[in-house]
């Protein structure tokens, strides 16, 4: 005789989930006072254990709300980020609430408070101005979060990035192979991990080639076209000549190109330029840009996938650290050093 399967009760689910029977009951009835992570864990356990929902209490599918915090919507890099995120959100029929900090710490604080007020189910966060404050706040709010293009060494968080060190290394090595030794570097915001990693890659390439780093050829900007323009202008007016420059991002190279043109110099005949990101129109500059291609959309998609997995399972696990490999895209903005 076939043994009848034991009916699963709320008590059984509560024991497995480590919560009260009342919490299980409220989660299965879609009550809003149950934390979404806990709710998802209870629903998953109910399904796994074979719990049969009474017809009147079958939970409806909740539309998840995902908060997305980016730094600068004017940067084409973030348009690709949003495109990657949106493709995954669409698959999960989730909605997103998009906010931009425009590189302002005060706005970052306001945005986090807004996301908490809106009771978002998860967050995707790009580069921030005050990482320690943001991380402390997110831990206090207990909202599932994944970072993209931002890496933290002293915090256990989920993140997806490209290998900034390797990208900068290959960019600088490319210039060295063309005979350049007077290579400037225009860096990005000091608050960003990527800025330090790209500077480290630049220095490593010079060191491996036996070229001393000349601090007079280093400048720090704020990731914008304007800073690229003014910093390149400053480099060209200094007494230290340069034959090439590795610039933190493609947007800053636009400004650098303008400064070079105003100085009646030419790219690449007088100065070779390498950027970073490979934004959509990098190949359509007046002189098509040699740049480090980072897989922006793949980074965004993977970050979104990790976030949905965190929300779906509701389980605590070791944070995922995913580092993707960039590649150098050689176009027309680099050439053999005229002095070599």
**Could you tell me the domains of the chain?**
10-57 (1.10.260.40), 65-162+296-324 (3.40.50.2300), 164-295 (3.40.50.2300)
Query: At residue 61, does pLDDT exceed 80?
Result: no
Whether the bond into 303 is cis, omega within 30 of 0 = no
Maximum CA extent, the chain: 95
Q: Report pLDDT for 84.
A: 94
The answer to whether residues 310 and 122 touch, using CB atoms and an 8 Å cutoff, is: yes
Higher pLDDT, 182 or 51: 182
Distances (CA, A) of 2 to 5, 51, 71: 9, 20, 62
Q: Report pLDDT for 5.
A: 53
Q: Report pLDDT for 45.
A: 85
Q: Report pLDDT for 2.
A: 45
18-36 residue pLDDT tens: 888 888 888 887 776 777 7
The answer to whether residues 290 and 271 touch, using CB atoms and an 8 Å cutoff, is: no
Mean pLDDT of the chain: 90
Q: What mean pLDDT comes out for the span 68-74?
A: 92
Q: Which of 335, 221, 225, 232 is nearest to 281 (CA)?
A: 225
Burial (Cβ within 10 Å: 0-12, 13-18, ≥19) of residue 24:
buried
CB neighbourhood size of 80 (10 A): 21
Q: What six digits make up the tokens of 289? A: 């840009």
Q: Report pLDDT for 302.
A: 96
Q: What six digits make up the tokens of 135? A: 């991380």
Choice among 113-117, 255-259, 314-318, 328-332 with the minimum mean pLDDT: 314-318
Q: What six digits make up the tokens of 159? A: 């993140």
Q: Report pLDDT for 7.
A: 78
Q: What mean pLDDT comes out for the span 59-63?
A: 64
Q: Which of 32, 30, 33, 66 is nearest to 46 (CA)?
A: 30
DSSP state of 61: P
Distances (CA, A) of 253 to 131, 160, 211, 225, 257: 26, 25, 24, 7, 6
Choice among 41-45, 69-73, 293-297 with the minimum mean pLDDT: 41-45
171-198 residue pLDDT tens: 999 999 999 999 999 999 998 999 999 9
Q: Report pLDDT for 48.
A: 82
| 3-class DSSP string for 271-339 | CEEEEEECCCCHHHCCCCCEEEECCHHHHHHHHHHHHHHHHHHCCCCCCCEEEECCEEECCCCCCCCCC
Distances (CA, A) of 316 to 36, 116, 139: 14, 21, 13
Burial (Cβ within 10 Å: 0-12, 13-18, ≥19) of residue 154:
exposed
Q: What mean pLDDT comes out for the span 74-97?
A: 91
* Local confidence band at 230 (pLDDT 50, 70, 90 cut-offs): very high
pTM: 0.81
Question: What is the percentage of the chain residues whose pLDDT exceeds 90?
Answer: 63
Query: At residue 1, does pLDDT exceed 50?
Result: no
Q: What mean pLDDT comes out for the span 144-166?
A: 90
Q: Report pLDDT for 10.
A: 84
Q: Quickly list H helices, the chain.
A: 10-17, 21-28, 36-49, 76-91, 105-117, 131-141, 164-177, 193-208, 225-237, 250-262, 296-313
**Coil/strand/helix, residue 193:** helix
């Amino acid at each position: 005789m076939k043994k009848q399967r034991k009916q699963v009760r709320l008590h059984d689910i509560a024991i497995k989930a480590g919560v009260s029977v009342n919490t299980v009951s409220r989660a299965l009835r879609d009550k809003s006072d149950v934390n979404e992570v806990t709710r998802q864990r209870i629903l998953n356990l109910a399904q796994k254990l074979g719990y049969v929902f009474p017809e009147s209490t079958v939970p409806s599918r909740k539309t998840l709300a995902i908060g997305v915090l980016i730094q600068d919507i004017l940067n084409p890099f973030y348009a690709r980020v949003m495109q990657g995120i949106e493709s995954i959100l669409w698959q999960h029929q989730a909605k997103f609430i998009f906010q931009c900090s425009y590189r302002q710490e005060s706005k970052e604080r306001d945005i986090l408070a807004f996301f908490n007020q809106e009771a978002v189910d998860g967050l995707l966060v790009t580069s921030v101005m005050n990482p320690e404050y943001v991380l402390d706040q997110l831990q206090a709010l207990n909202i599932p979060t994944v970072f993209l293009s931002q890496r933290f060494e002293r915090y256990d968080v989920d993140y997806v990035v490209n290998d900034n060190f390797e990208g900068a290394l290959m960019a600088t090595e490319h210039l060295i192979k063309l005979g350049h030794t007077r290579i400037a570097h225009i860096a990005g915001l000091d608050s960003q991990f990527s800025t330090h990693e790209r500077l480290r890659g630049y220095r490593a390439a010079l060191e491996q080639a036996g070229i001393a780093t000349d601090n007079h050829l280093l400048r720090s900007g704020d990731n914008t076209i304007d800073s690229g323009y003014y910093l390149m202008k400053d480099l060209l007016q200094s007494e230290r000549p340069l034959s090439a420059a590795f610039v933190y991002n493609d947007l800053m190279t636009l400004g650098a190109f303008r400064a070079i043109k105003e100085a009646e110099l030419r790219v690449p005949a007088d100065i070779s330029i390498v950027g970073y990101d490979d934004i959509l129109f990098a190949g359509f500059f007046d002189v098509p840009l040699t740049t480090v291609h980072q897989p922006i959309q793949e980074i965004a998609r993977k970050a979104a996938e990790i976030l949905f997995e965190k929300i779906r399972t509701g389980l605590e696990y070791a944070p995922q650290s995913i580092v993707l490999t960039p590649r150098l895209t050689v176009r027309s903005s680099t050439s053999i050093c005229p002095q070599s």
